[in-house]
């Protein structure tokens, strides 16, 4: 959205709040509509804002109510945190009413933001805080930027905010993602980054809950199937019940079509059977497509569903050493011997594991992945092992199949295994030893055929010595360890960058030599995840016909130091900086940070709070 100049804004505000009509184009139309709504509500732009947060118990209850949204958004909050720190900004997630659930980013700006009540527990709807990106995005049901004086209340003039609503598969508002910073700074890419993040979050909604439906994934470009840019429509029988924004746009529909349109009205192939992986829409467009038929299972799977490996999974970048390890890993998996993949965050551990899966004798069987750090401790056991009907309050009456059983015949990939609670480690060990699964609530033990492949960025040996990881489980899962190199250890990073760009930036020309050299020279502490995110942002923000220039690149003036792969657990050598870095990486969770450091929570608390 084009923002008005500062001088034009001052004139527009003076004219509007004096009761005069504004000439068309003086301020963006969504801003003017918002001002008018706020004025009709009787809000006073010069008034002192008294936005009190909800109580701590109320906020906890809201967190529980929005646990799915928070879980699906967690990786985007983490990835945007780096950008927020570099631009002195904060990332904000709200619920569907604009109440702030989570914030992360620049600690310095967070203090300034708190002065205008931009903190967890405060509602930023238009009715409560006037024109602002969060509230106006909810009111307009679209992505929007609000800059400086475009905010209704004068104290909010210090802010530049870019926000996009998050819609669930059924077209309902689930929340808002916002990136807010100083109005005096440049925020050229803020809106593009927020849009990309929301697209990823909305895509994740479709990973669960549609096993008994027909799911159609499609796009004009075949290589975008399976990515967040694909269109997704879900049919119950022949009726459209869910879909993402991209899918509705591709077939020329809006959210009103949900529960009103049928497959026959949208696609020429009524039965949704694809020929050569293609579908033709009624609007004449032809798409590459993949159709998932309903599963016929007596038990429905709930919770965070695994990603199942697809054909054409990307190959990892391998050094000669990891290529040799890959050859050994293939033979070990075929012999049903567990593996441990170690490497820094973002080094490509899951990509490596999926690639390995496709080269083994289990390639035609499931690859089921679960991030042990992404699920609440109370859910991990039911997710892994499933549960019987009525096993606990809130359980589905028909029960649920666990991830171990879903991996039958294939590979169970346990990422961030170091974050698994100690009590659950003992049960996992028993499953690995006996190859039998007993769901929560009892029942008959069932044989399970799978090969466990685990991944970590922790020093599990140090955790064993500290008593935070079971020694018997460690020796069970680490019968062979593969260590993936960090991106900075690759001898020819320019080739890596160029290859990734060709995969991610469909329709863009190759990167010019100066741009390629600049990207290859960066240390990339976030490894492939950080590099991939940067390249995706460049692809989205730059026009395909225009060559990328150095000016298009993000600012690399401050590099965020990557956390070391292995933490020291010796208190004598453990610095305060390392402790604070661990707390930051675990989003302020002292218990999780203490586990990562291999020390007691009380020790960490005493060293940081009561020093």
Residue range 287-314, pLDDT digits in tens:
888 888 776 433 333 333 334 444 345 5
Indicate the range of 137-151, 278-292, 448-462, 589-603 predicted with least confidence.
589-603
What burial class does residue 323 get, using C-beta atoms within 10 Å of its C-beta: 0-12 exposed, 13-18 middle, 19+ buried?
exposed
CA angle 498, 501, 504 (to 5 degrees): 155
Distant-in-sequence, close-in-space partners of 262: CB < 8 Å, separation ≥ 6 = 235, 238, 239, 240
- CA distance readout (Å), 163 to 65, 93, 179, 540: 22, 10, 6, 17
Which residues are registered as beta bridge partners of 455?
Answer: 341
H or E, element range at 7: helix 6-17
- CA distance readout (Å), 325 to 314, 332, 341, 350, 538: 18, 10, 11, 15, 34
Model pLDDT for residues 2-21, shown as the tens digit of each residue: 455 677 788 888 888 888 87
Q: Please give the DSSP secondary-structure letter assigned to residue 293.
A: P
pLDDT at 242: 93
pLDDT at 30: 93
Distant-in-sequence, close-in-space partners of 340: CB < 8 Å, separation ≥ 6 = 417, 453, 454, 455, 456, 460, 477, 478, 479, 480, 481, 482
pLDDT at 377: 59
Task: Report the percent of the chain where pLDDT is more than 90.
Answer: 29
Residue 375 has pLDDT above 70, yes or no: no
Would residue 482 be called left, alpha or beta, if left means φ above 0 and alpha means ψ between -120 and 50 degrees? beta
pLDDT at 588: 63
- CA–CA gap between residue 140 and residue 343 (Å, rounded): 44
Longest CA pairwise span in the chain (Å): 79
- More reliable by pLDDT, 550 or 177: 177
pLDDT at 302: 31
Residue 562 has pLDDT above 60, yes or no: no
pLDDT at 248: 94
Q: Of the candidates 428, 431, 442, 429, which has an alpha carbon nearest to the alpha carbon of residue 395?
A: 442
pLDDT at 512: 87
Residue 405 has pLDDT above 50, yes or no: yes
Instruction: Quickly list DSSP for 484-542.
Output: PPPGGG-S-HHHHHHHHHHHH-TTPPPPPHHHHHHHHHS--TTHHHHHHHHHHHHHHHS
Torsion of CA 578, 582, 583, 587, to 10 degrees: 150
Provide φ and ψ at 393, rounded to 5°.
-60, 125
Say how many CA atoms lie within 13 Å of 473 toward its Cβ. Answer: 25
Model pLDDT for residues 414-461, shown as the tens digit of each residue: 998 988 877 778 888 888 888 888 877 666 778 889 999 999 998 999
Indicate the range of 26-40, 261-275, 562-576 predicted with least confidence.
562-576
What is the average per-residue pLDDT within 53-75? 86
Residue 611 has pLDDT above 50, yes or no: no
Contact 450, 498 (CB under 8 A): no
Model pLDDT for residues 185-233, shown as the tens digit of each residue: 888 888 999 999 999 999 988 877 787 788 999 999 887 888 888 999 9
- CA–CA gap between residue 458 and residue 103 (Å, rounded): 26
Distant-in-sequence, close-in-space partners of 122: CB < 8 Å, separation ≥ 6 = 51, 52, 53, 99, 100, 129
Distant-in-sequence, close-in-space partners of 291: CB < 8 Å, separation ≥ 6 = 214, 215, 216, 217, 272, 273, 274, 279
What is the average per-residue pLDDT within 108-119? 72
- CA–CA gap between residue 427 and residue 422 (Å, rounded): 9
Confidence label for 363 from pLDDT (cuts 50, 70 and 90): confident
What is the average per-residue pLDDT within 363-392? 75
What is the average per-residue pLDDT within 397-422? 84
Residue 400 has pLDDT above 50, yes or no: yes
Residue 146 has pLDDT above 60, yes or no: yes
Q: Provide the sign of the torsion angle of the four alpha carbons 181, 187, 191, 197, taken in this order.
A: negative
- CA distance readout (Å), 330 to 337, 455, 520: 10, 16, 31
pLDDT at 554: 79
Residue 144 has pLDDT above 90, yes or no: yes
Residue 86 has pLDDT above 70, yes or no: yes
- More reliable by pLDDT, 507 or 536: 536
Q: Where are the beta strands (DSSP E) in 276-359?
A: 278-280, 286-292, 339-342
- CA–CA gap between residue 336 and residue 334 (Å, rounded): 5
pLDDT at 273: 55
Model pLDDT for residues 540-555, shown as the tens digit of each residue: 888 777 788 888 887 7
pLDDT at 568: 37
Contact 121, 141 (CB under 8 A): no
Q: Of the candidates 447, 465, 268, 454, which has an alpha carbon nearest to the alpha carbon of residue 369?
A: 454
Which residues are registered as beta bridge partners of 368?
Answer: 308, 412
Residue 243 has pLDDT above 90, yes or no: yes
What is the average per-residue pLDDT within 243-252? 93
H or E, element range at 337: none
Work out the mean pLDDT of the chain and round it to a whole number. 81
What is the average per-residue pLDDT within 495-518? 85
- CA–CA gap between residue 42 and residue 62 (Å, rounded): 29
Among 41-50, 313-322, 406-415, 535-544, which range has the highest average pLDDT? Answer: 406-415
- CA–CA gap between residue 162 and residue 94 (Å, rounded): 13
């Amino acid at each position: 959205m084009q923002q008005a100049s500062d001088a034009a804004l001052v004139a527009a505000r003076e004219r509007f709040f004096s009761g005069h009509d504004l000439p068309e184009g003086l301020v963006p139309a969504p801003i003017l509509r918002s001002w008018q709504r706020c004025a009709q509500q009787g809000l006073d732009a010069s008034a002192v804002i008294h936005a009190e947060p909800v109580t701590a118990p109320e906020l906890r209850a809201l967190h529980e109510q929005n646990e799915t949204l928070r879980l699906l958004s967690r990786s985007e909050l983490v990835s945007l945190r780096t950008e927020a720190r570099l631009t002195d900004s904060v990332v904000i997630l709200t619920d569907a009413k604009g109440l702030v659930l989570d914030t992360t980013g620049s600690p310095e700006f967070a203090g300034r933001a708190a002065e205008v009540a931009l903190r967890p527990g405060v509602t930023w709807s238009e009715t409560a805080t006037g024109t602002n990106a969060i509230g106006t995005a909810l009111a307009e049901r679209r992505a929007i930027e609000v800059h400086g004086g475009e905010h209704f209340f004068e104290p909010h003039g210090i802010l530049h905010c870019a926000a996009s609503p998050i819609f669930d598969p059924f077209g309902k508002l689930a929340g808002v993602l916002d990136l807010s910073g100083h109005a005096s700074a440049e925020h050229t890419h803020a809106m593009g980054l927020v849009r990309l993040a929301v697209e990823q979050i909305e895509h994740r909604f479709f990973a669960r809950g549609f096993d008994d439906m027909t799911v159609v994934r499609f796009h004009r470009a075949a290589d975008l199937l399976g990515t967040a840019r694909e269109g997704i429509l879900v049919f119950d029988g022949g009726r459209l019940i869910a879909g993402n924004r991209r899918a509705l746009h591709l077939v020329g529909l809006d959210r009103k079509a949900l529960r009103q349109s049928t497959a026959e009205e949208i696609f020429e192939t009524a039965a949704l059977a694809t020929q050569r992986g293609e579908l033709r829409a009624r609007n004449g467009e032809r798409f590459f497509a993949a159709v998932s038929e309903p599963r016929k299972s007596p038990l429905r799977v709930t919770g965070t569903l695994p990603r199942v490996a697809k054909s054409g999974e990307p190959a990892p970048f391998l050094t000669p050493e990891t290529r040799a390890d890959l050859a050994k890993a293939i033979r070990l998996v075929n012999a049903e011997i567990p593996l441990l993949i170690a490497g820094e965050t973002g080094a490509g551990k899951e990509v490596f594991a999926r690639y390995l899966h496709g080269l083994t004798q289990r390639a035609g069987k499931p690859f089921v992945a679960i991030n042990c750090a992404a699920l609440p401790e109370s859910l991990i056991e039911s997710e892994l092992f499933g549960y019987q009907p009525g096993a606990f309050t809130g359980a589905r009456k028909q029960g649920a199949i666990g991830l171990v059983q879903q991996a039958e015949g294939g590979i169970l990939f346990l990422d961030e295994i170091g974050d698994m609670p100690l009590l659950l480690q003992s049960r996992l060990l028993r499953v690995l030893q006996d190859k039998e699964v007993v769901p929560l609530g009892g029942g008959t033990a069932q044989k399970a055929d799978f090969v466990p492949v685990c991944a970590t960025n922790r020093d599990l040996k140090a955790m064993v010595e500290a008593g935070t990881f079971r020694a018997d489980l460690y020796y069970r899962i680490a019968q062979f360890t593969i260590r993936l190199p960090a991106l900075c250890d690759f001898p020819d990073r320019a080739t890596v960058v160029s290859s990734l760009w060709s995969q991610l930036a469909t329709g863009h020309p190759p990167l010019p030599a100066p741009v390629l050299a600049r990207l290859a020279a960066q240390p990339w502490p976030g490894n492939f995840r950080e590099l991939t995110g940067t390249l995706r942002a460049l692809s989205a923000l730059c026009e395909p016909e225009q060559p990328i220039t150095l000016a298009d690149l993000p600012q690399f003036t401050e590099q965020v130091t990557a956390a070391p792969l292995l933490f020291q657990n010796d208190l004598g050598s453990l610095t305060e900086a390392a402790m604070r870095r661990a707390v930051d990486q675990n989003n302020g969770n002292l218990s999780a940070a203490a586990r990562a450091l291999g020390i007691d929570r009380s020790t960490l608390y005493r060293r940081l709070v009561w020093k």
